Structure 1
């Protein structure tokens, strides 16, 4: 009975596979959104103010960073929790595949969230005159919470590795 339960638990990791595959659909959706923003930029390039153009470019950077985060979570999550990716030697292999354990994945995710939050906060600062001071304060506090969380996770990870 014990062996059956252990095998069932071990094999249940495959329930995560469709979730990681589903993240690839989110990457496709981000790609569509990216090119929608790009078309908007190109069609309005001569009528946009500099600030509006910077906001659109920051949105493009934001989308690209979220896409990178999704790919990182999708690929390394699959490798860490489901099965090792069997990529043919003749194909290009990402240098970090197989080298990122759950702890380093967590640190990379936290750093990515801080970077994405920073870009979002910069976009908000670009339009600060349109935003209520209380809302602005909350945006900064939320961002600082992400920064502090990432720092504490890194610090705790460093403590546990020694």
Structure 2
């Protein structure tokens, strides 16, 4: 019997360590949140620069600036989507706001499959906006650079659609 209790104690200790290791993800989440703050600072800088120089910029430059801001919004949204779903899925429930109206309705319903689809769709959208930005800019990418960007966009869209179809076939 003593060997069984030692084995049971060791098993509980290992399981406790494994279960507690989920908290090791928190610094990653904090890093992603700090990146969102950095993107916010960059978007404020870009907005201020565009607004202050609006009468000296061409329409093309204003459009490219707007597309860059859209890119930043999509990337920041993607980061927050990962933080919310990953934290709630692997670390702990976000119940500090349960009684408040700020509670996001989708937060607890985003599983791995839905997150995977949203990530792929977001990456495809970001790539599409980047491609459009490069096309509008004109000379910043050579023909082969635009072709590579367009190819990446088609690849992301195709992968996103394929993942969606395969997921529907599983259900």
What range describes the TM-score normalised by the shorter chain of this pair?
over 0.9
Q: Which residue of 2 aligns with 1:117?
A: 127
- Aligned-pair RMSD on alpha carbons? 1.4
The one of 35, 46, 63 equivalent to 1:54 is 63
Query: Equivalents in 1 of 2:162, 2:18: separation in Å?
Result: 32
Deviation (angstroms), 1:62: 0.9
Instruction: Give the structure-2-normalised TM-score.
Output: 0.88
Q: CA deviation at 1:57?
A: 0.6
Q: Size of the alignment, in residue pairs?
A: 161
Q: Distance in 2 between matches of 1:130 and 1:23?
A: 30
Supply the distance in 2 between the matched residues of 1:86 and 1:102 (Cα, whole angstroms). 20
Matched, 1:98 2:118: no
Of structures 1 and 2, the larger Rg is shown by 2
Aligned to 1:158: 168
Q: 1:129 deviation in Å?
A: 4.2
Partner in structure 1 of residue 145 of structure 2: 135
Give me the whole-angstrom Cα distance separating, in 1, the residues matched to 2:15 and 2:91: 15
Give the corresponding residue for 1:18.
Answer: 27
Following superposition, the deviation at residue 4 of structure 1 comes to 2.6
Do residues 75 (structure 1) and 84 (structure 2) align?
A: yes
Alignment pair present for 1:145 and 2:126: no
CA distance in 2, matches of 1:18, 1:26: 12
Structure 2 gaps, min length 5: 1-9
TM (norm. structure 1) is: 0.92
Aligned to 2:40: 31
Q: Distance in 1 between matches of 2:37 and 2:52?
A: 23
Shift of 1:33: 0.3
Runs of 4+ in 1 over 3 A off after TM superposition: none
Shift of 1:17: 1.3
